[in-house]
Amino acid sequence: MAKRPIYWRKSSLLEEHKSLGGLGMRNIESINHAMLFNQAWRMKTCPNLLVSRVFSGKYPSTWFENSISGRRVNAASWGARSIMKSVSSMKGGIRRTVGNGEATSITDHVWVGDNRIKFKEHSSFVGTKPTWVSELKCSNHSWNASSVWSLFQSSTARRILAIHTSNRGTQDGWDWSQSSTGAYSIKSGYWFHKNTGKVEENTVSQFWSLWWKANMFPKWKIFIWKVINNAIPTKQNLRRRHIDVSPACVFCGKEESLAHLFRDCELSMRVWKSCSLGINGLAAVETHVGSWVKNFLLYFLNQDGNSGHRVVFFSSILWSIWLHRNECVFKGTKASAVTVLELARQWMSRWEVSHCLNDKVRITTTSPNKAWSWQVGVHSQGDMILIEVDGAWKCKGDYGDGRWSAAAGWRISRSGVEIKTGAQKVLASSPIQAEAMVVLLAL
Ligand SMILES: [Zn+2]
């Protein structure tokens, strides 16, 4: 009979992000898509590379756009087809950056925010509705504000008008909406692909976010994850998977379950009572052992920070109970609460040594900070033009639908004498954009 491994937990849990209670293991399909899309993105954004030229020579040069709109290319190789398929599976994260707007479709492309936009239902616009973004612009490349206001809901219109337009008529480009810089990374692509089509929004668990940052042996972190998720080969768990072992606890003879072994067994209770944490296991028999462990650790993490002694000591006791249990099962050692406590103490001192070592390494490797300042040009005492700028940006309420207002103010002076001042209301969808606009205006 072929040996099949025991699966303690579903792969979907293991692949969940660490902050959501999973182990962050990579899903092979998603990582494959993310890496294929990396190739596609590279060829699209660097058209002068040899590989890009070969690819768009062999296949229609619009292969990227075709893949987004779902049009197949005939007689493509397996590799090329996979690359094109990855583009269509990632299309939700691809955004248009507007230059002259001639290649950007108003309703088919994502170019305002993270979603496609729609025309207003009852618009006062006369004539046929425009298709391309360039049709929303005036001849001098600025927005045709009156048609934008008449075609779209006011929140959408405000966001459109806040898009800065270049007056050089540059071509439309692509960017990746899942990163702040617009550049694609396999990591962001991976999580984007993995979470596409997920209906429920998972809430980030405070415990897990803190736990993975705790200053602790990595094997303990995984061990505690297993305890909380009941993924430990206790006798009860083994019997559930039809493995013929005696159900008796090696310490006391009752049935060995996760809760019994780590908390409810007489021996474990004695250990918990006599350790310096002063935990009474009897008071908690009703609680699920996973939540019991989680609650204590979360309490210690919140109280003492991520390298507190109590967190480590609590974990080291759980670890020592498990080690001692294995000694008794496999080597026939005599069960004793004193041995468990002694083991826990030894592991604590090991942790302390490694902790101090880590601190020492950290001190010796930190180089003194270089001053974050530099000088451009020649410093002169004479004629100096000083431009002071400030942008203000305010979001009204938590609507997130573009109810913001922004203003810019600037002052230019030469050798201390004021030459010009100005202030203006601007349309900007973020504080950074407001600050950038005022610099542009002042210049
Ligand atoms: Zn027992």
Tell me, in angstroms, the distance from the centre of ligand 1 to residue 234's CA: 12
Does residue 359 surpass a pLDDT of 90?
A: no
Tell me, in angstroms, the distance from the centre of ligand 1 to residue 423's CA: 77
Q: How confident is the model at residue 156 (pLDDT cuts 50, 70, 90)?
A: confident
- Kindly state the percentage of the chain with pLDDT values over 90: 35
Tell me, in angstroms, the distance from the centre of ligand 1 to residue 258's CA: 10
Q: Average pLDDT, stretch 398-407?
A: 60
Tell me, in angstroms, the distance from the centre of ligand 1 to residue 328's CA: 12
Q: What pLDDT shows up at residue 41?
A: 93
Q: What pLDDT shows up at residue 368?
A: 47
Measured from the Cβ of residue 374, the count of other Cβ atoms closer than 10 Å reads 5
Tell me, in angstroms, the distance from the centre of ligand 1 to residue 301's CA: 29
Tell me, in angstroms, the distance from the centre of ligand 1 to residue 276's CA: 22
Tell me, in angstroms, the distance from the centre of ligand 1 to residue 184's CA: 54
Tell me, in angstroms, the distance from the centre of ligand 1 to residue 315's CA: 19
Q: What pLDDT shows up at residue 220?
A: 94
The 8-class DSSP code of residue 264 comes to I
Residue 96: what are its φ and ψ, rounded to 5°? -85, 135
Q: Average pLDDT, stretch 324-347?
A: 93
Tell me, in angstroms, the distance from the centre of ligand 1 to residue 219's CA: 25
Q: What pLDDT shows up at residue 323?
A: 95
Tell me, in angstroms, the distance from the centre of ligand 1 to residue 136's CA: 76
Does residue 380 surpass a pLDDT of 60?
A: no
Tell me, in angstroms, the distance from the centre of ligand 1 to residue 353's CA: 33
Burial class (CB in 10 A: 0-12, 13-18, 19+), 128: exposed
Q: Average pLDDT, stretch 273-288?
A: 81
Tell me, in angstroms, the distance from the centre of ligand 1 to residue 208's CA: 29
Q: Which long-range contacts (CB under 8 A, 24 or more apart) does 277-285 make?
A: 277/310, 277/313, 277/314, 277/317, 285/259
Tell me, in angstroms, the distance from the centre of ligand 1 to residue 247's CA: 11
Tell me, in angstroms, the distance from the centre of ligand 1 to residue 174's CA: 63
Tell me, in angstroms, the distance from the centre of ligand 1 to residue 277's CA: 21
Tell me, in angstroms, the distance from the centre of ligand 1 to residue 233's CA: 15
Domain boundaries, the chain: 11-92, 99-171, 206-363, 385-442
Tell me, in angstroms, the distance from the centre of ligand 1 to residue 250's CA: 6
The CA–CA distances, whole Å, from 204 to 20, 22, 207, 230 equal 5, 11, 9, 21
Tell me, in angstroms, the distance from the centre of ligand 1 to residue 346's CA: 23
Tell me, in angstroms, the distance from the centre of ligand 1 to residue 8's CA: 22
Note the pLDDT tens digit of each residue in 49-94.
999 999 989 998 888 888 888 888 778 889 999 999 999 888 888 8
Q: Which long-range contacts (CB under 8 A, 24 or more apart) does 17-25 make?
A: 17/191, 17/202, 18/208, 18/212, 19/204, 19/205, 19/208, 19/209, 19/212, 20/202, 20/203, 20/204, 20/205, 20/208, 21/205, 21/208, 21/229, 23/222, 23/225
Does residue 367 surpass a pLDDT of 70?
A: no
Mean of the per-residue pLDDT values for the chain?
84
Does residue 190 surpass a pLDDT of 80?
A: yes
Q: How confident is the model at residue 366 (pLDDT cuts 50, 70, 90)?
A: very low
